[in-house]
Homo-oligomer: A and B are copies of this chain.
Amino acid sequence: MKERLTDAAMDLIWENSYGATSVDAICDRAGAKKGSFYYFFKSKSELAAAALEAEWRKRRSDMDRIFSPTVPPLERLDRYFDYVHDSLAERQSKCGSVLGCPLLTVGSEISTQDQVLRNTVDRILDQKISYFVSAIRDAHAQGLISAPDPKAKARALFACYQGTLTQARIQNDVELIRNFKEIALDVLGARHAPATS
């Protein structure tokens, strides 16, 4: 039941927005009643945080596989962006819109109003960035790119990736994710190196 609620919440919040998603709608979607909702979660905000964590947990094993140290560093990023593109394209075929990243939309929406939820967003984003950090550190160690400060470079790349996700959502254009690879190479300074592809 708990999972049904977090899944339903994730779908609705991702598709619309946190504020536009009502507890009633979540319950309808989950096939639950309000009493059950409040049995498991103290509030809508607590559910949203749980939904983001649950979604992250599901995605993490995919990321572990894609970013495995056995995969060449730049190829990890290349595959990851393909993975994200394919995920968003599939979700688009189901609900008609490119939805971008829920961490960004929720984070952006509630950042000045709900510090608990915002901390959840921050924490998960940090974990996502750590995959980028290790890929970039490895690429630097292998002489594929120059990134003396892998962390800063990872944050830069991540910001660009985030911006592209937001743009894709606003413009409802999933191909922007695919095009992002060129940008990523620029940020990494790997544009003129015979790596990737």
Query: A residues bordering B, Cβ < 8 Å?
Result: 15-20, 95, 97, 99-100, 104-105, 107-113, 118, 121-122, 125, 152, 156, 158-167, 169-172, 176, 179-180, 182-183, 186-189, 191
Check A107–B19 contact: CB distance below 8 A.
no
Tell me how many chains of this kind the complex includes: 2
Chain B residues within 8 Å of A15, by CB: 112
- Known: A17-B109, A108-B166, A159-B167; 10 extra A-B contacts, CB below 8 A, are A100-B108, A105-B108, A108-B169, A109-B109, A159-B160, A159-B163, A160-B183, A163-B163, A163-B164, A186-B188
Interface of A is mostly: helix
Which of these, B18, B107, B163, contacts A162 with CB under 8 Å?
B163
Residue on B with the closest CB to A165?
Answer: B163
A165 to B125, CA, bound (A): 15
With both beta carbons as reference points, the residue of chain B lying nearest to A171 in the complex is identified as: B122
A169 touches B99 (CB 8 A): no
In the complex, the chain B residue whose C-beta lies closest to that of A172 is B111
- Asked if B182 and A156 sit within 8 Å, CB to CB, the answer is yes
CB atoms of A186 and B19 under 8 A apart: no
| B159 and A122 within 8 A (CB) | no
Among A110, A166, A180, chain B packs the most CB atoms within 10 A around the CB of A166
Contacts of A164 on B, CB cut-off 8 Å? 159, 163
Query: Chain B contacts of A111 at CB under 8 A?
Result: 97, 169-170, 172
CA–CA, A110 and B68, complex, Å: 36
Residues of B within 8 A of A162 (CB): 162-163, 166-167
Q: What chain B residues lie within 8 Å of A109 (beta carbons)?
A: 17, 19-20, 105, 108-109
* A164 shortest CB reach to chain B, Å: 5
**CB-nearest residue of chain B relative to A182?**
B156
Inter-subunit contact A118/B170 (CB<8 Å): yes
